[in-house]
Structure 1
Amino acid sequence: GGAAGGGAAASSSAPYHRHVGVQLQHSLGQHLLKNPLVTAAMIEKASIKSTDVVLEIGPGTGNLTLKLLEAAKKVVAVEHDGRMVVELQKRLHGTAEGRRLQLIHADVMKVELPFFNLCVANIPYQISSPLVFKLLAHPQRFRCALLMVQREFAQRLCAKPGDELYCRLSVNTQLLAKVDHLMKVSKNSFRPPPKVDSSVVRIEPRNPPPPVDFVEWDGLVRLCFNRKNKTLGAVFRQKPLLQLLADNLKTHRALVGAMAGGMAGGGGEGSSGGDGGAAPMETGGGGGGGLLAEVGELVEQVLEETGFAEERTAKLDQDDFLRLLAAFNAVGIHFAGC
């Protein structure tokens, strides 16, 4: 199967492991899946169709790749390690399966991914979070991704409001996708064994994607989770945060003004502030102190309207964050760049 990373791989006491003549590099988090039962279970749970183009990340020496090729129309495998690429090419040289494999020698985080409609992979654990969001940002919608990840990462992905591990990763992933924990995998299923156990998760992108500006959303969620066990009132009344929102509002107004100035008779966005936001939006935003006080009043207005002043981030669900973001945006407060 693929080469995946254990969280503490680089500090393993046994520095060298060989697999079919290839020395595994801990710096790349290389842990090869050696348990055929796990590979078979991943294939079964992926429900691969004969028309599918499957993306695999970190194929390693190809144990999972071969099984994917048996079931799919085509496999696109992205491998960072040149030695693994050579091994996989040798293994499939002259075979019918080899002709249905597109092998890309590259860092998956730096390459533009081709079309795929399913992803099945035992991924390098140190890139788990950025890789999940790269997949979810892929312009062509794919059916689902089955990923082998570190156990705690899987728990964070699936965590619900009130869970100890509920965090920004949980909220952001679940905005964009449905996430399910499929099975636990023992560290002994890998060679060399990583320091931690693993899990297989299924990530199904929401189709259509939610009508939310993700940069705005992430800006709000990041601020909230900086102090996830404080009340939202305590979080949003901090002076440094109010100053950040005031700076953002000043920039936003300047952009809206420039856009309005460039349109013949353009009214600009400020004319639709909503819920009492129109008047403050129209007043001058130049003076730092005045703007800070204005933002403080707008924040109080939002907290009162939503009823969230005494709520804690750790207990808010997707709908709560959507309501909060909509209420802030309605009075002209934005989070892009926060």
Structure 2
Amino acid sequence: MGKVKKQNKTKATQSKNTQSLPFNTNRGQHILKNPGIVHAIIEKSALKETDIVMEVGPGTGNLSAKILEHAKKLIAFEIDSRMIAELKKRFIGTPAQGKLQVRAGDVMKDEDWPIFDVCVSNLPYQISSPFVFRLLLHRPLPRYAVLMFQQEFADRLVAKPGSKLYCRLSVNVQLLAKVEHLMRVKRTEFRPPPKVDSTVVRIEPKNPPPPINYQEWDGILRVVFLRKNKTLSAIFKQSTILEMLEKNYKIFCSIKNKPLDPSFDIKNLVDQVLEQNDFGNKRARTMEIPDFLSLLLAFNKADIHFC
């Protein structure tokens, strides 16, 4: 009986040490404290025993422990050396130890992401947008990702034309993936609690991805969403945009050995494209993905490029 009490006391001491570990909210360290929510996330992740899973910001390992119960291997990216020590200590001497690979450092600065089947993470909020873009451009594509975001960011991912939250992020992600909300998580379920509620989202990349030049696609979206409530005609009158398009046009002509007319005026060509294709009075906030694809195609046919 004394031995059992000693083991229990050791576990209680470890738990107390983890509880007292100070969290760095500047790095998005908000740890899920409700095991029921962790269980629900894992259930909705539908992991296979053959899956290699990537997790970002595992913290003390509450989600990691459940992932390791279901997956073949977990590759966990953690930037905080204190958390890495806690994570390794949690699984040392257990069957899960051999299935866990911890990679120290900033996942967004790591140029060599591993091959993985699924990504499951309570993501540090400040990297939400760049992480999603990189995830969807990663090759080979993962099967899907189950990620927790701040509620408004998650709402932007699924926003439709006309919505106040509809933005470049919405269009980009919906072009490249199928996105669905899985569950809402109240801020009180975290320690320390963040300022807003969260949402768990499932992102399933389209495989194969759409056959487009993504840099060019993203380039035109950056332009038209600069002022999403303005007409395209008004946006494309801005001198900085016209200068960029003229520079690109001249580079393209040079590469293709296409002579440049001395009277060439990029503004006239842009206006002509918008007018002939009925885009002048359209606004980005109400345009759908096929509209943006048609707009890019119309510009490209006129040798106007965005990268």
**Structure 2 length-normalised TM:** 0.91
After superposition, residues 72-151 of structure 1 pair within 5 angstroms as 72-111=71-110, 112-151=112-151
- What do residues 21-65 of structure 1 show as CA deviations (whole Å, max 9, x unaligned)? 422112212111111121111111111111111111111111100
CA–CA distance in 1 between the matches of 2:87 and 2:20? 12
What secondary structure sits across from 1:23 in the alignment? Answer: coil
Q: Which one-letter code corresponds to 2:69 in the other structure?
A: E
- What do residues 294-317 of structure 1 show as CA deviations (whole Å, max 9, x unaligned)? x23322332233212111110111
After superposition, residues 288-299 of structure 1 pair within 5 angstroms as 290-291=263-264, 293=265, 295-299=266-270
2:302 corresponds to which residue?
331
Q: Pick the aligned partner of 2:260 from 284, 288, 291.
A: 284
CA–CA distance in 2 between the matches of 1:142 and 1:244? 35
Q: Which one-letter code corresponds to 1:303 in the other structure?
A: L
Task: Please tell me whether the aligned partners of residues 78 and 102 of structure 2 are also in contact (alpha carbons under 8 angstroms).
Answer: yes
CA–CA distance in 1 between the matches of 2:27 and 2:237? 43
CA–CA distance in 2 between the matches of 1:114 and 1:219? 28
- What do residues 216-266 of structure 1 show as CA deviations (whole Å, max 9, x unaligned)? 111111110111111112222334432321122112222333xxxxxxxxx
After superposition, residues 223-238 of structure 1 pair within 5 angstroms as 223-238=223-238
CA–CA distance in 1 between the matches of 2:136 and 2:98? 28
Task: Please tell me whether the aligned partners of residues 231 and 282 of structure 2 are also in contact (alpha carbons under 8 angstroms).
Answer: yes
2:186 corresponds to which residue?
186
CA 21–307 in structure 1, closer or farther in 2 if over 3 Å, else same: same
CA–CA distance in 2 between the matches of 1:303 and 1:135? 33
1:312 corresponds to which residue?
283
CA 149–304 in structure 1, closer or farther in 2 if over 3 Å, else same: same
CA–CA distance in 1 between the matches of 2:37 and 2:78? 21
- What do residues 147-186 of structure 1 show as CA deviations (whole Å, max 9, x unaligned)? 0111111111111111101011111111211111111110
Q: Which one-letter code corresponds to 2:260 in the other structure?
A: G
1:69 corresponds to which residue?
68
CA–CA distance in 2 between the matches of 1:87 and 1:220? 45
What secondary structure sits across from 2:101 in the alignment? Answer: strand
Q: Which one-letter code corresponds to 1:226 in the other structure?
A: L
What secondary structure sits across from 2:148 in the alignment? Answer: strand
2:33 corresponds to which residue?
34
Instruction: Say whether 1:220 aligns with 2:194.
Output: no
Give the number of the structure with larger relative contact order, counting CA–CA contacts within 8 Å between residues 6 or more apart: 1
CA–CA distance in 1 between the matches of 2:250 and 2:95? 62
CA–CA distance in 2 between the matches of 1:34 and 1:134? 29
Q: Which one-letter code corresponds to 2:131 in the other structure?
A: L
2:170 corresponds to which residue?
170
Q: Which one-letter code corresponds to 1:321 in the other structure?
A: F
Give the superposition deviation at 1:108. Answer: 0.6
- What do residues 192-217 of structure 1 show as CA deviations (whole Å, max 9, x unaligned)? 00111111111111111111111111
CA–CA distance in 1 between the matches of 2:142 and 2:26? 30
**Structure 1 length-normalised TM:** 0.82
CA–CA distance in 2 between the matches of 1:188 and 1:239? 48
CA 310–53 in structure 1, closer or farther in 2 if over 3 Å, else same: same
Query: Aligned pairs, how many?
Result: 291
CA–CA distance in 2 between the matches of 1:234 and 1:29? 39
Root mean square deviation, CA, Å: 1.6
Task: Please tell me whether the aligned partners of residues 73 and 99 of structure 2 are also in contact (alpha carbons under 8 angstroms).
Answer: yes
Q: Which one-letter code corresponds to 1:314 in the other structure?
A: R
CA–CA distance in 2 between the matches of 1:85 and 1:299? 53
List alignment gaps of at least 5 residues for structure 2: 1-16
Q: Which one-letter code corresponds to 2:281 in the other structure?
A: E
What secondary structure sits across from 1:233 in the alignment? Answer: helix
Q: Which one-letter code corresponds to 1:110 in the other structure?
A: K
CA–CA distance in 2 between the matches of 1:316 and 1:93? 53
What secondary structure sits across from 1:75 in the alignment? Answer: strand
What secondary structure sits across from 1:163 in the alignment? Answer: coil
Instruction: Say whether 1:53 aligns with 2:52.
Output: yes
Give the superposition deviation at 1:283. Answer: 4.0
Q: Give structure 1 regions of 4+ aligned residues with deviation exceeding 4 angstroms.
A: none
